[in-house]
Every structure is written in structure tokens, then in C-alpha cells.
Amino acid sequence: MTPVPVPADEPPKKRSAADFIFGKVIGEGSFSTVYLAKDIHTNKEFAIKVLEKLHIKKERKLAYVTREKEVLLRLASWNELFVKLYCTFQDVDRLYFVLTYAKNGDLLTHIKHLSLECVRFYAAEIIMALERLNIKKIIHRDLKPENILLDENWHVLLTDFGSAKIVKDEIEQEECGENSKRRNSFVGTAQYVTPEVLTDGNVSFASDLWALGCVIYQMVCGTAPFQAGSEYLIFKKILDLEYSFPEDFDSRARNLVEQLLVINPHERLGSCDVKPYTSIREHQFFSKINWHNLGKPPKIC
């Protein structure tokens, strides 16, 4: 059946859970369950993130959820590189986020099967996403392969903005209770956490560049650079910059990672660029990349 066209000046109708058929669970986060769902009016597939209000309240994560929505709305004007938030609604017990369905899952699932050509392509798309975040004054703070999703055409869709920081709101954030504690606390995932979070807590755009270095390392050799048996030992290795490269690690990729995994955030490649992240774009590792048109993603083996 052809859907009835909605006149351009008519605001979209408020959606509810009844407008969707909920299918399989496609992911579980600490505070959410993500379902594949179909819009009954258009047949279009979405990923719907469902959050239990009681759980959010109990874990005092309201600020986290609000932040995620705020950031996704800020990014909604871009139809690529980020998961798009189409709408939100709620019922008595739950909050619902209707998001782009990333059909090919997350980068972590595929990370052990990437050719160097793939690494270059995906690193370039992630950098373009970070450039856009920079324009919108957003620091992701939890960039990792699980949060880099892949759409039906294998392009990157960055997600999970619950830990993000909107730079312009810094003063407001520090004033409100729940967030004020976050400045010096560990936000993110142990293996990708930045040294500055572990020391003075001063997060900046360069923090995402450290995580980018970790992700590129992992895309090249399949494992994260800083690994140990406990969070404490991982943190120690990060602070000591204790990691090594396998012998067959591509030399240009190695040089790039070495310039991103730098303890001093101001010395990380790209951190002082007037136009972010020109110096990363110009790195030799990307000499084959046409930044005006990245083209189609190379096939993942």
C-alpha cells in the first residue's frame, strides 16, 4: 500500500510505541535495550533504544540520557556519519529513542578482518565525523569500536553520546550537581580512556584524538593497544604509555598512531590545528585518500 503523502507544512504526528512493530533485540547497553522495529505506516526499519525510567532514576543517569538526546538533536542536520534521532516518546515506564538502524552492526565485530585499505577508509570516515563533532562543539569522550556502527552500505555511523560533553555548556554543566562530579571522574571505557582523564580530568577535543589513535591501532592489528588484567593495570599502562607494535604493523599507520597516542593532549597530531583536523588529513597514511570524495567503503574480508 502506498503511504499517504504528508503535506510539507503539516507537523509530523507524535509517535508512540503503537506506531511500531518491535522485533528482535539488537543490542543491550548498561541502561537500555535496543530493538529492531518497523514503522507500521512506512515499513521503514529503525533501531529503537528503550530505557526503563525506574532504572535511569535508580542509577541517577537522567543527565546521561538528557545529554544523549541533546547531542543527537544537535547532529540531526547531518544525514551521514552519525546515527540520526528521528523522534522520542515515552510511556509510563519507558523512554524511547527512534534511531537509524545500523544494519551491519558495530566495528568491533569486524575489526579483526580489516585490510589496510579498509583501515584507511574507516579512519578517514571517523576523522570526518570528529571534524563535524568539533564544529558542533561536541567531545564524544567514549569513542571505541563498539560505538562505531556500520550502516547498510558499510558507512560509519557514530553513536552513544551519553558520555559526550558540549563545550559551550561547560559552565552550566559544572554548576549542576550530577555533572559537576564528572569532570574528574573516569568517563568512557578503560582501554580507550585518555591520560588526562586519569590525571587532571581536563577533557578536550584532543581526548577524542587519543581514542582515535587507539581505534586505528586496533583496526590495524585487531587488539587494543593498552591491555591488562584489571582496570588499574590498564590505567597504569596508559599513564606510562606502555604499549608496543607488532613487527608487521604498517609503518605509516604506526607513525600516525604514535603522533596520536601522546600523553600531552596539546602535542597530539591535530590538537592545535586552526582548521580541525588538517594535519591528520595531511598525514602520509592518508596520501591515497581523496578527502573530497571518500567513495565506497572497501569490502571487509
Where along the sequence are the contacts to ligand ATP (CB under 6 A)? 26-32, 34, 47, 49, 83, 99-102, 106, 146, 149, 159-160, 162
Residue number, 87 or 116, with CB nearest to ligand ATP: 87
Minimum distance from residue 274 beta carbon to ligand ATP (Å): 33
Segment (H or E) for 122: helix 116-135
Q: Environment class of residue 292 by beta-carbon count within 10 Å: exposed (0-12), middle (13-18) or buried (19+)? A: exposed
The secondary structure of residue 17, as a DSSP letter, is: G
Inter-residue contact 216 to 123 (CB < 8 Å): yes
Q: CB of 99: closest distance to ligand ATP in angstroms?
A: 4
Min dist. Cβ of residue 104 to ligand ATP (A):
9
Nearer to ligand ATP, 102 or 257 (CB): 102
| CB neighbour list of residue 60: distance below 8 Å, 6 or more residues apart | 178
Cβ-based burial of 281 (10 A; exposed 0-12, middle 13-18, buried ≥19): middle
Is 91 known to be catalytic? no
Nearer CB in complex with ligand ATP: 47/118: 47
Measured from the CB of residue 27, what is the shortest distance to ligand ATP in angstroms? 2
Q: Please pick, among 106, 142, 160, 208, the residue that the annotation labels catalytic.
A: 142
> Angle 100-136-261 (CA atoms, 0-180°, nearest 5)?
90
Calculate helix-pair angle for 251-260, 205-221, nearest 10 degrees. Answer: 150
Between 106 and 131, name the residue whose CB sits nearer to ligand ATP. Answer: 106
As annotated, the active-site residues are 142
